[in-house]
């Protein structure tokens, strides 16, 4: 039965692959996860004269969604954010990244605006500090202003739920 | 409308694939010739349908049809035409379509040269290829349809990943897939041969050219990928042991073992188990590679955007196709009458050792690639395995391989003696020692011992191959293409080894800060930083710096490394400035801007780095030479005749 050996090894390999599929290698703890959100002063996208400190939301947890009008994948996740906004479950803050004010506002007007605040980052400087790697990217920030989780790429229902669970778990443990 | 034609053609191709998978094989079981004869028209129809589908996708990209979501995600009207076409295979959906296109092209090619094959065997081969094609078409249509629409269309496309906007990407994936997918042919031959209990010399003779072509393409594809990484990623490295690189390297390594094993099966009708197993596993590794790249189980710079449904599908497909083939293999009993093995010292023993070494090398690469996944699956944490592991385990396996290449190709079949073999080896060995010590002394007296070691091994292979080639030519009075091809490939391999040895032992690197107008001396060259200025391309802005490089007495090169910011965002891209040369590359990468006049800069001197790719080209060229196009007609007649007698005896049995 020596000839059975290749088949047996193959089955073991398949089992490992199957387990591997249930894990997400992108869940690599990003260097900023567990670190406080950098505090900077940014313009509000919608009202040109307002500036906001990125620390203004400390006290409540929120989702920081990095988006741009030129980004097609942002459109893909947009309906989920709209849905989440109507549920009032958790505030959503937008970081408009490397964009022009005009294009960004047009985009929000056309596709709906789920954001409580929209921070305007035309040069991408703040995004750089956050280690934004590609748009869309979403950070989950807890009530102490600490980044708890980061998601690269468009969101879906499952990973939103997962990330909110992470936020809640952290909060319960710190209470 | 055009995308719908493509979509429709793809659905039709799926139904044709289903027929191709079922009808000829059922015919073969029933002994119904008319059903088996359908293999050819079905395979050809499938190729035409998939080609139609592929062409419509190209048209959608050329016209930047923003109602097609795949176009939106990967192209843009500002993208130059070349890149709009290559963007077709720049991401998951389109490259999968390229995958099935190439598979159907291989099947089509098979129908052009099916004359010598017995009808039943041929029906099974085409049927198995039909099963593979069916699986991948199903996968494309249900999880990765490139023809999906977006209504209403967005104002502009998202652009092709800037890393992929390059000549290397236009040609690298098609070449690589030609190899990857090409190994489906030996796989189909192996399974069909097992099903018909027809693994014999004739079988080996039929499968050999297909394997050689697939292997040549895969080698070229890997070399192109390495070259692309060298100039495009801006790190100056040519191989990173990245999981995706490994995914293409493993089938190549095992394919190398397969090529050698097939020769033994053809000549001596032995190693049948081994050859068949290699054929199955080589294609298995191609599929594993596809799984690793497209399922998101491993992170890599090359990995495609992922979706768990895709991973599950490929895994199931892998389990069915390769698991099924290995089960068939498990129950295979070869004809009892095997030719006895020759003595310990014979060509076939060397070839067996070579096969084992290459298989072990493949296994070490597989282990290193999958180790992070296994540790994660066992819940032991997240780790990554890097170049140190691979260099430590892989290089020691290559050293005995090089020694054996030199000896093995001089050994006689069946029976050889130690005395005769050492007699054949002595002049090449002498020449190697003289030349290696000479060059080693000449370069630098503090040369690392590893450099000497690598040079000796590579030169040994070259001299031994040349001596064998000369001797072979003298005795046969003509150039026999399989022998000549073998010699070219072996010399190519040695040249690659020389390149790797020299660039890793004598390569120089320096990071420094330079201000405009400053001159620095490094590695025997004077580098003058003439200045930096803003540039703008069709879809990016950036900075270009100018460097003038002089050697002691003459002007060497004007290099213009760039940093580019693509409008679509993402990382800043580094375009290295390279002055290529056979004996050395001068390589400059621009780092960060420090202030108005100062930049951080990386200078590299890469001696003989081109030999790495030159050797790879020679290896592929050797494989094509070995096919024997335009070979003396007499020999091919003879072999055909012996072939016919072979089949007639089979029938009379």
CATH number at residue A84: 3.40.30.10
Q: Look up residue B59 and give its two tokens.
A: 């048209």
8 Å CB contact of A16 and B73: no
End-to-end CA distance of chain A: 61
Quick check: is A4 in a domain?
Answer: no
Q: Cβ contacts (< 8 Å) between B72 and chain A: which residues?
A: 72
**A100 belongs to a structural domain:** yes
Is A19 part of the contact surface with chain B (CB cutoff 8 Å)?
A: yes
Quick check: A98 and B569 CB within 8 A? Answer: yes
pTM (global) more than 0.90: no
Q: Note whether B377 contacts A23, CB cutoff 8 Å.
A: yes
- Percent helix, strand and coil across chain A, each to the nearest 5: 40, 20, 40
Confirm whether A14 is domain-assigned: no
User: Using only C-alpha atoms, what is the Rg of chain A?
Assistant: 20
CB contact under 8 A, A20 and B299: no
User: What distance in Å separates the CA atoms of residue B492 and residue B618, rounded to the nearest whole number?
Assistant: 5
Give CA angle at B278 (B273, B283), nearest 5°. 135
Task: Report the candidate in B79, B81, B167 with the shortest Cα–Cα distance to residue B568.
Answer: B79
Length of chain B: 653
Average pLDDT for residues A152-167, to the nearest whole number? 81
- Range from A98-107, B319-328, B462-471 carrying the lowest mean pLDDT: A98-107
Instruction: Give the chain A residue whose CA is nearest to the CA of B304.
Output: A153
Say if residue B644's pLDDT is above 60.
no
pLDDT at residue A119, rounded to an integer: 92
Cβ distance A70 to B568 less than 8 Å, yes or no, reads yes
HSE at residue B525, side-chain half, CA atoms within 13 A, is 25
Classify residue B324 by its DSSP letter.
H
Matching residue, tokens 């022009």 = A100
Record: contact B296-A25, CB cut-off 8 A: yes
Q: What confidence tens digit (pLDDT) does each residue in B22-71 have? A: 999 999 999 999 999 999 999 999 999 999 999 999 999 999 998 998 99
Record: contact A25-B376, CB cut-off 8 A: yes
Give the best residue of B326, B333, B384 to mutate against chain A (max A CB count within 10 A). Answer: B326
Q: Per residue in B216-266, pLDDT tens?
A: 999 999 999 999 888 877 677 888 888 888 999 999 999 999 999 999 999
Structure confidence at residue B338 as a pLDDT band (50, 70, 90): low
Question: Where are chain B's structural domains?
Answer: 1-160, 508-607
**A124/B569 Cβ within 8 A:** yes
Contact of A162 with chain B, judged by CB distance below 8 Å, is answered with no
Other CB atoms within 10 A of residue B642 CB: 12
d(CA B558, CA B578) in angstroms, rounded, equals 9
Asked whether residue B340 carries a pLDDT value surpassing 70, the answer given is: no
Chain B residues near residue A68 by CB distance under 8 angstroms = 569
DSSP alpha helix (H) spans, A22-147: 72-87, 101-111, 125-130
How far out from the chain centre does Cα B143 lie? Answer: 26
The residue-averaged pLDDT of B614-641 equals 70
Query: Residue B153 has what pLDDT?
Result: 81
pLDDT band at A83 (very low <50, low <70, confident <90, very high): confident
Q: Is residue A20 part of a domain?
A: no
Note whether A16 contacts B299, CB cutoff 8 Å.
Answer: no
- Give the span between the Cα atoms of B424 and B467, in whole angstroms: 8
A175 lies within 8 A of chain B by CB: no
CB atoms under 10 Å from CB of B608, counted, come to 21
B47 CA to centre of own chain: 23
Maximum mean pLDDT: which of A46-55, A143-152, B198-207, B300-309:
B198-207
Task: Report how far residue B490's alpha carbon sits from residue B468's, in angstroms, rounded to the nearest whole number.
Answer: 11
Q: Tell me if A94 is assigned to some domain.
A: yes
Residue B514, phi then psi, degrees to nearest 5 = -130, 140
Measured distance CA(B513)–CA(B30) in Å, rounded: 77
**Exposure class string for B76-95: b at 16+ Cβ within 10 A, else e:** bebbeeebbbbbbbbbbbbb
Binding-face residues of A in 34-63 toward B, CB within 8 A: none
DSSP secondary structure of B455-471:
HHHHHHHHHHHHHHHHH
Q: How many domains does chain A have?
A: 1
Give the integer Cα–Cα distance in Å for B288 and A40.
46
Instruction: Give a yes or no: residue A21 inside a domain.
Output: no
| pLDDT at position B270 | 84
Count interface pairs A-B at CB distance under 8 A. 92
Q: What's the length of chain A?
A: 175
In this prediction, residue B571 carries a pLDDT of 64
A12 touches chain B (CB under 8 A): no
pLDDT at residue A72 greater than cutoff 80: no
Contacts of B318 in chain A (CB under 8 A): 14, 17
Q: Would you say residue A18 lies in a domain?
A: no
Q: Give me the pLDDT at residue B629, please.
A: 64
**Which three-class secondary structure state does DSSP give residue B51?**
helix
pLDDT at residue B322, rounded to an integer? 95
The half-sphere exposure of B311 on its side-chain side, counting CA atoms within 13 A, is 22
Question: pLDDT per residue over B294-319, tens digit each?
Answer: 876 776 555 555 566 788 898 999 99
Nearest to A135 among B318, B323, B569 (CB): B569
């Amino acid at each position: 039965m020596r000839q059975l050996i290749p088949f047996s090894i193959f089955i073991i390999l398949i089992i490992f692959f199957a387990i591997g599929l249930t894990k997400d290698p992108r869940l690599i703890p990003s260097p900023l996860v567990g670190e406080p959100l950098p505090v900077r002063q940014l313009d509000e996208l919608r009202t040109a004269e307002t500036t906001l400190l990125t620390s203004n939301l400390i006290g409540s947890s929120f989702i920081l969604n990095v988006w741009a009008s030129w980004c097609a994948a942002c459109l893909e996740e947009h309906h989920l954010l709209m849905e989440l906004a109507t549920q009032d479950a958790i505030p959503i803050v937008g970081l408009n990244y490397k964009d022009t004010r005009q294009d960004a506002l047009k985009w929000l007007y056309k596709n709906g605006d789920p954001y409580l605040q929209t921070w305007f980052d035309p040069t991408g400087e703040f995004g750089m500090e956050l280690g934004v790697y590609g748009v869309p990217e979403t950070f989950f920030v807890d009530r102490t202003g600490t980044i708890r989780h980061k998601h690269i790429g468009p969101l879906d229902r499952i990973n939103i739920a997962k990330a909110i669970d992470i936020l809640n778990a952290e909060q319960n443990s710190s209470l | 409308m055009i995308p719908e034609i493509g979509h429709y053609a793809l659905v039709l191709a799926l139904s044709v694939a289903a027929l191709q998978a079922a009808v000829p094989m059922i015919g073969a079981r029933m002994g119904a010739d008319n059903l088996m004869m359908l293999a050819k028209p079905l395979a050809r129809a499938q190729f035409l349908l998939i080609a139609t589908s592929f062409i419509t996708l190209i048209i959608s990209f050329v016209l930047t049809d923003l109602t097609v979501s795949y176009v939106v995600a990967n192209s843009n009207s500002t993208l130059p035409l070349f890149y709009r076409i290559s963007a077709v295979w720049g991401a998951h959906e389109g490259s999968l379509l390229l995958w099935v296109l190439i598979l159907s092209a291989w099947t089509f090619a098979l129908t052009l040269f099916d004359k010598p094959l017995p009808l039943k065997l041929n029906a099974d081969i085409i049927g198995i290829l039909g099963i593979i094609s069916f699986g991948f078409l199903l996968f494309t249509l249900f999880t990765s349809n490139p023809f999906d629409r977006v209504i209403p269309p967005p104002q502009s496309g998202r652009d092709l990943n800037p890393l992929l906007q390059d000549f290397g990407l236009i040609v690298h994936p098609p070449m690589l897939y030609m190899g990857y997918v090409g190994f489906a042919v030996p796989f189909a031959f192996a399974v069909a041969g097992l099903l018909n209990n027809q693994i014999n010399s004739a079988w080996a003779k039929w499968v050999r050219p297909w394997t050689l072509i697939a292997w040549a393409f895969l080698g070229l594809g890997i070399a192109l990928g390495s070259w692309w990484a060298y100039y495009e990623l801006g790190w100056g490295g040519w191989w990173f042991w990245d999981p995706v690189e490994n995914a293409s390297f493993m089938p190549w390594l095992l394919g190398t073992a397969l090529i050698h094993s097939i020769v033994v099966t053809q000549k001596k009708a032995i190693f049948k188990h081994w050859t068949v197993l290699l054929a199955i596993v080589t294609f298995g590794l191609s599929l594993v590679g596809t799984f690793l790249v497209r399922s998101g189980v491993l992170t890599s710079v090359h990995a495609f955007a992922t979706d768990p449904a895709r991973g599950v599908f490929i895994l199931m497909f892998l389990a069915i196709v390769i698991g099924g083939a290995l089960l068939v293999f498990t129950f295979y009993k070869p004809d009892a009458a095997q030719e006895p093995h020759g003595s310990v010292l014979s060509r076939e023993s060397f070839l067996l050792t070579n096969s084992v070494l290459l298989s072990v090398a493949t296994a070490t690469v597989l282990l290193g690639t999958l180790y992070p996944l296994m540790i994660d699956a066992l819940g032991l944490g997240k780790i990554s395995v890097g170049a140190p592991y691979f260099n430590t385990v892989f290089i020691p396996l290559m050293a005995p391989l090089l020694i054996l290449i030199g000896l093995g190709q001089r050994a006689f079949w069946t029976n050889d003696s130690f005395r005769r073999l050492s007699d054949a080896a002595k002049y090449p060995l002498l020449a190697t020692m003289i030349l290696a010590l000479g060059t080693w002394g000449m370069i630098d007296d503090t040369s690392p011992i590893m450099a000497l070691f690598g040079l000796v091994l590579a030169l040994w292979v070259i001299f031994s191959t040349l001596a064998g080639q000369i001797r072979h030519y003298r005795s046969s009075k003509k150039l026999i293409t399989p022998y000549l091809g073998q010699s070219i490939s072996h010399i190519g391999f040695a040249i690659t080894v020389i390149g790797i040895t020299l660039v890793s032992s004598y390569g120089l690197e320096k990071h420094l800060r330079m201000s405009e107008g400053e001159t620095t001396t490094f590695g025997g060259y004077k580098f003058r930083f003439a200045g930096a200025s803003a540039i703008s391309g069709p879809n990016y802005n950036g900075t270009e710096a100018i460097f003038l490089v002089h050697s002691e007495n003459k002007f060497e090169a004007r290099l213009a490394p760039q940093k580019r910011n693509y409008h679509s965002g993402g990382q800043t891209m580094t375009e290295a400035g390279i002055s290529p040369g056979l004996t050395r590359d001068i390589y400059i990468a621009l780092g960060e801007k420090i202030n108005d006049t100062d930049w951080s800069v990386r200078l590299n001197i890469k001696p003989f780095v081109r030999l790495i790719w030159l050797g790879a080209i020679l290896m592929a060229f050797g494989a094509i030479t070995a096919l024997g196009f335009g070979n003396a007609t007499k020999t091919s007649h003879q072999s055909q005749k012996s072939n016919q007698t072979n089949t007639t005896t089979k029938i009379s049995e």
